[in-house]
Every structure is written in structure tokens, then in C-alpha cells.
Structure 1
């Protein structure tokens, strides 16, 4: 990784705005977030992605003519159906003729992209420099940023210039675990080909996002409790697999950068992985909010800026995503 840059929406106080989104503010406040980020009206995912990309390209000391491939990872509802956001970002950056790849595997896309890019470089000797940009822009017409799950959703983007042979922030390996039995969890119910329109007097905003989860477990509390326990166990498992693939002992990890989850979940994850909470991104998460697949790279950049990472450190970028997917990428600083 040659350079890394971020672009967040405008900061918003959770305490001052929570009542606009939910009628039970105490539930959201208990998550431990104090700030989230909301893009200004008219700012799209393309806008956020292009802004972060320009900053990353400038920080790398190159111009767009040096970009051999553009990879865009989007973790929220796209602006349009039957539309490729990667080409829209390419147009914003003036990347005429540059090949692009669009990744839409929800919150996993930005982290698992490293393996896709490594594979691309392995089979394409002409691909030397890749621009990776991952973005999350909440569509408030499709989902409530404070009610979709137990994360408070934010708008933000991170971009990285990746170059073959670089020694800093070097990719070591990526692993993923998928549970296909959970394929329907947290889906947005209406607007796709299966259900283009909601029933009368209903919308995506009136649907309980957890309803499909409860339906899957048939309201069996024991089965549901077992699944919840397995969530963090699988986080630990996928990190161990990434460590094994990369030849890195888990106790060598300097930091685990997880999705920007609520504070209770961050503590449970740290306990399951066997790492001190102070060596995670828990503190940053409370002030950023959940930026989908951009979380890990946004926090990675902030930890670097704060001097909390040192040459030779091995960092795990980990999380889980709708699908359900558990994933981890290891980088060496």
C-alpha cells in the first residue's frame, strides 16, 4: 500500500439527533457511539469515493495515468439498478480506458478486495498499480441508519493506492468463512426484482430488519442464542485461518481492526480473539460509526496518523457481513 486516504460525511452528535431516527433513544445511546457521519444532501457514494480517491492518488505522488486498474467496493444500496458504480467513479477521476472491477459483497468487500487484487497482479504482469476505493453511503429511503442492526451506520469512504512490490502495509493473506444458511439476514425487502414494490401502506422503513433473523430461528431462543455465541467464535476462527495461511502466530498481531461495531460487541469480539480492547479500534468506532466496508481502512489510516502502528507490526482487518460472511485480511506495516 503506497498511500491511504479517507473522506467522511459531516459529523453528527448521536445524542442530539437520535430522536429523529428512533422512538427509543436509550437503546441506541446504550451502544456507546457518540458521533456518526452523514453525507450532505446531494453527496452520493460516487462523490465520497471520488474524493477519497483523489486524496490517495495525490498522497502517492502520482497522477491517474499511473493507475492500471480501479477496484470499487460498495457496501450499501447503489444509486441506480442495472448500473456499474465503478465506471461512474472512473469517469469522475478521468480514468478513460482504465479497466474497473465492482465489488458488492456488503461489508466484506473492502477487506476481501486485497485478495482479489493480489490475484489480479499474479496473473497480469502489466498490472502494477491499483486504486482500491471502498464506500458506504446510507440510503435513508431504504434503511434507518439507527435501526438496521446493532451498529449505527455512517457515510464514508477510504481509498488506497496499491503497488506491486511495495514493502509498507504489505498484504499477507485473506480468509473468509461463509454460512449460506444465513443468506437472507438483513436484506432490504423491497425494490429488487423479487419484490419491486411494497404492499400498500408498507415500505422498507416499516419492516423490522431483524424479522428475517427471528423467522429463520422460528423464535427459538436457544437456537438464536447459540448463533449469537457463534458469531464471535467465527471471528476468532477466521483470524486464526488468516494467520495460519500467512505463517503468522495470532499472538504476533499488534492490532485487530474490526468493523465499527457497538462497544458491547467490540468487547465481546476482543474477548473471543484474546486481545486487549485497547489493541482494537473500539475507541475510534465510537466516534466514527459503521461505514460499511470502509470501516477497517478508515480506522487503519487513523491509527497510523495517531502513531499507534510501527514498522513490522502485523494488523488484522476483520469483520462480518450480510450473507453471512466472516473475513480477515492481514497486513504488515
Structure 2
């Protein structure tokens, strides 16, 4: 059986910045209220008609391909993790066209904020089986399309963006362990559901307190399972990259896991919750800043609607 290695990353965000003060002009809130409860200071929002999931995903993908030192023609597969496709029939094929990756098979997967971790594990199986050699995994979401801008409980949280990694088959497996979970009993806690009366999808609804309780309990559990499968101790982890949902969740997981605060990656102050994009967006930012180095052990965990959650442990390069 072949192995997996991650050899390049990229990311992309829209130009428009929406600050907490900007939101205070739309709903009854303030910068202090949002920052205290979420850690978010601003987010990026798509406001151009020609920009969407496909364009952000393709831009992030190009950067990841360049960082990996390959070409789009070398790609065998493109996996796009998104819950907000430009087209409900799928957006990955459009990304394939934009990249000029004619050889690549392309498909979408939807697992909300867990999408990147689920996509990572899915793509790894094709590489381990020897089916494909080069895979582009992208997490991209444009949640601003589905936010109720009069609901201060949700509109303050979300932003738009994309992140990508190139995964390649390898004799040495750098994906060390993973654990994936789902629980449909919690489906109603976080929704972007179809409204039969309106004959369209309704804006995002969320039970914030219950989602918080779920995350701070479930995430440490799957991280511990994945670490066990990776045969690593918590102290051996160089970086923890969680889905960037809320700083309180990041802090609670860090404390429960006993991980040093300096090892926790956080950029949600600048981007908010970008769903499937949040983990690869943070990964790419830390890689390009020279913080994450080849050989570093990285623990990731995504969690969100479904309910779905999962963790993966890998070494960079």
C-alpha cells in the first residue's frame, strides 16, 4: 500500500473587508460584544458578481499547485469540500476548467465545517490504493450568500474564503491517523435548509450554546483517538489547527487537551468562520509565514453541521 504526503498549500479570500464596526451599522451589536464572545474582528465578504466558490477555489488551487512544484496537468483528481456551491449540481468541474486540469476527475463533497478533514481522509484513500498520484484538495465556502444579516447571532460569525493543499502518493505515509464521526440526532442545531414555502434555501440558523457544548466535548475525543492511531502523544504535536469557529472553542479544546497555547493556530480574528476553508486557510498562512516547517506534526479537527466532526494527524511534507 502506498502512502500520502502533503506537498503544497494555497489560499484565497475576497478583497472586501467587513469589520465589526461595519456590522454594528446593520444589527444591534458592537466590536466589543463580538470580539469578547467570538474573537472575531473582521471577515472577508464576496461582493463582486464574478467571484464565487469556483473562482476562490481555483485561485487557492493555483497557489497550492505552484507551491507543490507541479502543474495542473499533473493532477489526477480535484476534491472540492463545500456546502455553498455555485451550482447545486456541483462546482468542482468548474474549478477543473478554470485551472486547465483536463486530466483530473473532479467532484464535490459536503460535510460543512468538517469538509476539509473529511476530504483529506477521502483523498488519501485514492493515493494509498495507488489509483491516483496527485490530488488537489480544496475547502471553499461563500457563507455570506446564506447569512441573515438581521440575525446578530449568526451574521457576526461567517466569512468567505478558500484554502487548498496538494496531496501526493509517497512511499512514506505522512497521514498518521484519523477519526471521523457523524450524529444526525444533532442535525437541527445548525442548518441551511430548504424552505418549501419560500421554494428556496433559508438563511443559516444555529443553536450557538448547544453547538459550543458539542464542540468542546467531541473535538478533544476525536483528537485523542486520532493521536492514538498515529502513535503520538499530545506533547509531540507541533501545531493544532482547529476549524476556526470561535476563539472560546479553540481555547477550551486547547485547555482540555493540555496543548501549549503557542501551538494553537488561530486566524479567525481576521477571517471569521469560513467553514470548509478555515483549516487549509490557516494552514497556508502559517506555512507561508515560515512557522510550519517540513516534518512538523500537525493535528487538525473540523466540526459542524450534520452533526459531523473529525480529526486527522499528519506531518507537513
**Same fold by TM-score, threshold 0.5 exceeded?**
yes
Task: String of CA shifts for 1:49-99, please: whole Å, max 9, x gaps.
Answer: 111112222222322221111111113x32233x11111111222233521
Alpha-carbon offset, residue 164 of structure 1: 0.7
Structure 1 match to 2:3: none
Select the structure of larger CA radius of gyration: 1
> In the TM superposition, what are the counterparts of 1:45-124 in structure 2 within 5 Å?
45-75=53-83, 77-81=84-88, 83-123=89-129
> In the TM superposition, what are the counterparts of 1:5-84 in structure 2 within 5 Å?
5-10=10-15, 12-25=17-30, 27-30=33-36, 31-42=38-49, 43-75=51-83, 77-81=84-88, 83-84=89-90
- CA 1:180–1:128: 2 relative to 1, 3 Å: same
1:140 is paired with a residue of what secondary structure?
A: helix
- CA 1:297–1:146: 2 relative to 1, 3 Å: farther
- CA 1:80–1:12: 2 relative to 1, 3 Å: same
Structure 2 match to 1:301: 284
- CA 1:139–1:329: 2 relative to 1, 3 Å: same
Structure 2 match to 1:219: none
1:133 is paired with a residue of what secondary structure?
A: strand
The answer to whether the aligner puts 1:277 opposite 2:285 as a matched pair is no
1:268 is paired with a residue of what secondary structure?
A: helix
| Alignment RMSD | 2.7
Structure richer in strand, relative to its length: 2
Structure 2 match to 1:173: 177
* Mapped contact 1:262–1:286 kept (Cα < 8 A): no
Of 201, 204, 209, the residue aligned with 2:202 is: 204
1:319 is paired with a residue of what secondary structure?
A: strand
Aligned residues: 308
Separation in 2, partners of 1:56, 1:230 = 33
Task: String of CA shifts for 1:137-170, please: whole Å, max 9, x gaps.
Answer: 1243554497464972111111211111176x93
Q: Which runs of 5+ in 1 are unaligned?
A: 215-223
Q: Which runs of 5+ in 2 are unaligned?
A: 1-5
Separation in 2, partners of 1:239, 1:73 = 21
- CA 1:233–1:150: 2 relative to 1, 3 Å: farther
